[in-house]
Amino acid sequence: MNQPGKNGPVRRRYLLALGALVVISVMAVLVASGADPAEVGEPVDVDDLPVLADDVPGPDQADGWIGSEPLTRASLDGSVVVYDFWTYSCVNCVRTLPHLAAWYDRYQRDGLVIVGVHSPEFEFEKDRGNVERAVGDLGVDWPVALDPERRVWNAFSNRYWPAKYVVDRKGRLRYVHYGEGAYDET
């Protein structure tokens, strides 16, 4: 039988530890919410920027693309390309899709190509059927490269969802944006 008051010091230590964890957690959230991913991201070496078609499964692997045949250097040559790193269960990624759709509708005839790079965070996002359903449900009309092993993600040294890399007609990286927003600037 427990004696009254004997567990008091132990309980007090647990409460102090719990209080300290709450304070640390609140501080971490405050610091993280003030961080700008654009200032944290590593610089991209434009001269060594990979070409997407070299980093995803080739034409002989049909599960590499949704909505398009595999894109090649030749097929992207002369186009302005927006590489959009996303995953369908990321709410921030999904909120950028209407803006991408507006760009695509407006500028596709002028040579804009959007390449969705679906780089999953979770195992269920690696399932092609799940991605195909999401692409249909979300109204994604541009080519989507499946990147389940994050080879393209790693080739770009990407670290965030969503992320936009804008490449000019000569294949030079001109702009990078991490996260939501900056649609007018982009």
Q: Which of 12-16, 51-55, 182-186 holds the top average pLDDT? A: 12-16
pLDDT at 123 over 90: yes
Q: Are residues 140 and 167 in the same domain?
A: yes
Q: Are residues 12 and 87 in the same domain?
A: no
Q: Are residues 8 and 72 in the same domain?
A: no
Q: Are residues 105 and 59 in the same domain?
A: yes
For residue 121, the domain's CATH number is 3.40.30.10
Domain with 167, as residue range(s), is 42-178
Is the residue at 183 inside a domain? no
DSSP letter at 62? Answer: G
Tokens (6 digits) for 180? 């939501």
Q: Are residues 75 and 117 in the same domain?
A: yes
Q: Are residues 21 and 56 in the same domain?
A: no
Task: Render pLDDT for 141-183 as a digit per residue (tens, 0 to 9).
Answer: 999 999 998 888 888 889 999 999 998 888 778 888 998 877 7
Is the residue at 52 inside a domain? yes
For residues 160 and 181, the answer to whether their CB atoms sit within 8 Å is: no
pLDDT of res. 18: 82
Q: Are residues 118 and 157 in the same domain?
A: yes
**Identity of residue 1:** M
For residues 161 and 37, the answer to whether their CB atoms sit within 8 Å is: no
Lowest mean pLDDT among 56-60, 104-108, 119-123, 170-174: 56-60
Q: Are residues 120 and 81 in the same domain?
A: yes
For residues 163 and 150, the answer to whether their CB atoms sit within 8 Å is: no
Higher-pLDDT residue of 123, 169: 123
User: In whole numbers, what is the pLDDT of the chain averaged over residues?
Assistant: 80
Is the residue at 185 inside a domain? no
pTM for this model (two decimals): 0.67
User: What span, in angstroms and rounded, lies between the C-alpha atoms of 162 and 30?
Assistant: 21
Task: Render pLDDT for 28-60 as a digit per residue (tens, 0 to 9).
Answer: 666 655 555 445 445 555 455 444 444 433 333
Percent with pLDDT over 70 in the chain: 75
Q: Are residues 172 and 95 in the same domain?
A: yes
